[in-house]
């Protein structure tokens, strides 16, 4: 990750450092990008600059970036492939670069059409892997089974219940402050691109969060982070994933049982219960209906599994 001042181990010249600082401000103030998105963009750019410095044999400056050719960009893509980087990660990194180059153009620093000529890597069509309703409930029931600290066990339960009950992204849940916790039948969630959506909140979700807050020794309030770690700082996604991994191992669930799988489970179980795609799209905060339509494939697979396992003709 890049630090707030744009200082990394990379040796960068002043013109690039200034451009990166202005880009960061532009992302936050004009594009309204979340901190998570901004940090990912910066990390992608710094990794690219590190490669370019090695590839070109010189400390890169703006002129270096503006004279790169399609061959240079393809060399960068080839290096990522050799290093075993996932295609999804490379697609995001390429998107980050294009965003930076668009900013250079809009800010009058120069153009380079070569980056736009590079095709995105062909991504595999992945199908969401939700938990079954039984496994999802078991995950919640055992959310804090291994924890020695009762308040940490209650925190895990509150977080996992929120993810499954409202279909939130892990970043959306962990970005919440104490004064944004649900107090009624709905709550406002700020998602990707700082787009807000209204999600319903079941009483069991409010009760789990209230129970956690009453037990938390740090008594989060106001602008304090809602979910905190053992030292009272905002809980980070890596810790939440580690907590779920321990519960997953306890229940002998597959590696796909992650915090994000609870979001997948929310959508899939709503669809199986008769929910319509448009409503589920709104609840998930998807910009495109095609993203939500992936869950129809999951539902069809589950229907076929039930059919093949129970119909007399299928069993023969």
- pLDDT tens for residues 19-49? 999 999 999 888 878 777 888 899 999 999 9
The pLDDT score that the predictor gives to residue 302 is 56
Task: Assign 10 a pLDDT band (cuts: 50, 70, 90).
Answer: low
Give yes or no for a contact between 114 and 72, defined as CB atoms under 8 angstroms apart: yes
Q: Is the pLDDT of residue 123 over 80?
A: no
The pLDDT score that the predictor gives to residue 234 is 95
Distance CA 12, CA 285 (A): 38
Among 199-203, 237-241, 243-247, 300-304, the minimum mean pLDDT is found in 300-304
Among 85-99, 168-182, 271-285, the minimum mean pLDDT is found in 271-285
For residue 222, the 8-state DSSP code is T
How much is the pTM? 0.67
Secondary structure (DSSP) of 223-250: TSBSSB-TTSSBP-HHHHHHHHHHHHHH
Distance CA 145, CA 136 (A): 15
Q: Is the pLDDT of residue 9 over 80?
A: no
Task: Assign 297 a pLDDT band (cuts: 50, 70, 90).
Answer: low
Q: What is the mean pLDDT of residues 269-281?
A: 84
Give yes or no for a contact between 48 and 93, defined as CB atoms under 8 angstroms apart: yes
For residue 110, give the nearest of 118, 98, 102 by alpha carbon: 102
Task: Assign 308 a pLDDT band (cuts: 50, 70, 90).
Answer: low
Q: How far is CA 311 from CA 6, 133, 273, 307, in A?
A: 61, 21, 21, 5
Residues with a known catalytic role = 169, 192, 260, 263, 286, 295
- pLDDT tens for residues 44-67? 999 999 999 999 988 889 999 999
The pLDDT score that the predictor gives to residue 31 is 81
């Amino acid at each position: 990750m890049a630090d707030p001042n744009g200082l990394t181990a990379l040796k960068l010249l002043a013109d690039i450092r200034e451009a990166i600082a202005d880009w960061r401000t532009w992302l936050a103030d004009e594009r309204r990008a979340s901190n998570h998105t901004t940090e990912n963009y910066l990390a992608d750019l710094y990794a690219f600059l590190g490669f370019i410095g090695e590839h070109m044999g010189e400390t890169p400056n703006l002129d270096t970036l503006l004279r790169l050719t399609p061959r240079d960009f393809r060399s960068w893509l080839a290096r990522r492939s050799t290093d075993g980087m996932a295609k999804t990660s490379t697609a995001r990194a390429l998107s980050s670069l294009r965003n930076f180059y668009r900013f250079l153009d809009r800010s009058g620093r120069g153009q380079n059409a070569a980056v736009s000529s590079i095709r995105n890597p062909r991504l595999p069509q992945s199908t969401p892997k939700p938990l079954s309703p039984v496994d999802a409930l078991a995950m919640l029931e055992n959310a804090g089974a291994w924890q020695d600290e009762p308040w940490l066990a209650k925190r895990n339960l509150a977080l996992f219940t929120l993810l499954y009950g409202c279909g939130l992204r892990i970043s959306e849940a962990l970005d919440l402050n104490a004064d944004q916790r649900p107090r009624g039948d709905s709550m406002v969630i700020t998602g990707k691109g700082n787009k807000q959506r209204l999600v319903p909140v079941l009483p069991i979700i409010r009760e789990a969060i209230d129970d956690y807050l009453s037990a938390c020794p740090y008594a989060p309030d106001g602008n304090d982070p809602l979910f905190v770690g053992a030292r009272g700082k905002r809980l980070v996604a890596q810790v939440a994933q580690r907590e779920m991994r321990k519960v997953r191992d306890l229940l002998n669930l597959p590696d796909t049982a992650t915090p994000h799988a609870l979001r997948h489970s929310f959508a899939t179980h709503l669809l199986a219960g008769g929910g319509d795609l448009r409503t589920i799209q709104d609840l998930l905060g998807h910009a495109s209906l095609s993203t939500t339509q992936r869950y129809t494939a999951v539902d069809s697979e589950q229907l076929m599994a039930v059919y093949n396992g129970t119909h007399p003709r299928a069993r023969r």
